[in-house]
Chains A and B, each alone.
Chain A
């Protein structure tokens, strides 16, 4: 009994404070978490609407899509169906990630309704060298992906960037970053496209 009362006498402040702080955190979290979740959704919507301008709403795909990441691990991917105001499917979007030059590169990729052409990509997060690898965010690199076939793309060092085909011209001085983006996009588009077709989700909404 003595030991317990000694223990309590020494640490009552700690226990009371822990309760109080825990309560404070819980209240703040409860108050702010709807907003935080909404922010995440807004961000994704904002980025994809830049790629698929007609999209008004994003519906998550029901079945589970599991692909093998570039590093070889099985990861679950959330695929979203972009629908216009009249409920018609205008495209699909999903996140894709992979190793870049410095760190991980995270992209959001959008493809057209038939999963045949890539609508484009946007960089969610990357840590590439400013002025070099960072150029993957620039329009002249990203535009090459718009309308490219939704299959395995190839990186070339010389070529015509305005020609839209499965060849992507690398950024001069940033070959590794360009290669990383091409691989991430190809990898995810081919695998997810395969699974979507397999599960018959694609066929569903061709009205």
Chain B
């Protein structure tokens, strides 16, 4: 009894950790690029976006996992899309009600969570084939990995672009902010360099 419990616990931990590093959605699977570049000008919006994605991912994985035996194969993408769109609408409403400033900063990128490849891919690859608990853990892992990535990218961009992190001044007075970091250029180049760094660290070839 204990042995199988241990094995399941190990499997769960592995699933959780996979989303954080080995199968990190942005750095390894190259999914969800659009919000990564758009909202990472500062850490606060990046973190908010990450939390929204965790919420939507969790809810959609739960619902899809509960429905997995009832899905007809050729309608399943439609079902996924409908589920995700519903939860994104709900998340957007909550954001507009409780965090109006963040909602303005994130703007049209919150509804773009619907077409965020991460969520559909996880629904397709994991939630539609696995029981509830595994799907939940997978969602949490992927969501955390995504949020972490966003925050790292945002920290670099915000630090170099405005000298602050989370709106707290960190850099010394003499530092002249690199305005380019707040603009699309900085986003693309920072992500490209970070990806290159990850590739080097994991020894991946092309």
Binding site for B on A (CB under 8 A): 10-11, 13-14, 17-18, 21, 24-25, 28-29, 32-33, 35-36, 39-40, 43, 125, 129-132
Q: A25 touching B86 by the CB < 8 A rule? A: yes
Asked if B104 CB lies within 8 Å of chain A CBs, one says yes
6 inter-chain pairs at a CB distance below 8 angstroms, sorted by A residue, are A13-B70, A13-B72, A18-B82, A21-B82, A29-B93, A33-B93
Q: Which one of A24, A33, A39, A131 contacts B179 once the chains associate, using CB atoms below 8 Å?
A: A131
4 closest residue pairs by CB, A with B: A21-B86, A131-B179, A32-B97, A35-B97
Q: A36 touching B179 by the CB < 8 A rule? A: no
Q: A10-B72, A129-B183 are in contact. Are A17 and B97 (CB under 8 A)?
A: no
Q: What residues of A have a CB within 8 angstroms of the CB of B104 in the complex?
A: 125
Asked if B100 CB lies within 8 Å of chain A CBs, one says yes
Asked if B35 CB lies within 8 Å of chain A CBs, one says no
Binding site for A on B (CB under 8 A): 67, 70-72, 75, 78-79, 82-83, 86, 89-90, 93-94, 96-98, 100, 104, 161, 177, 179, 182-183
Q: Is the interface of B mostly helix, strand, loop or mixed?
A: helix
Q: What residues of A have a CB within 8 angstroms of the CB of B100 in the complex?
A: 36, 39-40, 43
Q: What residues of A have a CB within 8 angstroms of the CB of B79 in the complex?
A: 13-14, 17
Complex Cα distance A43/B103, Å? 13
Q: What residues of B have a CB within 8 angstroms of the CB of A21 in the complex?
A: 82-83, 86
Complex Cα distance A14/B74, Å? 12
Q: What residues of B have a CB within 8 angstroms of the CB of A13 in the complex?
A: 67, 70-72, 75, 79
Q: What residues of A have a CB within 8 angstroms of the CB of B90 in the complex?
A: 24-25, 28
Q: Which one of A10, A32, A125, A131 contacts B96 once the chains associate, using CB atoms below 8 Å?
A: A32
B100 closest partner in A (C-beta): A39
Q: B183 touching A24 by the CB < 8 A rule? A: no
Complex Cα distance A75/B177, Å? 40
Complex Cα distance A125/B101, Å? 11
Q: Which one of B78, B98, B183 contacts A130 once the chains associate, using CB atoms below 8 Å?
A: B183
Q: B93 touching A131 by the CB < 8 A rule? A: no
Q: B83 touching A14 by the CB < 8 A rule? A: no
From residue A166, how far is it (CB to closest CB) to chain B in Å? 32
Q: What residues of B have a CB within 8 angstroms of the CB of A43 in the complex?
A: 100
Q: B182 touching A130 by the CB < 8 A rule? A: yes
From residue B64, how far is it (CB to closest CB) to chain A in Å? 11
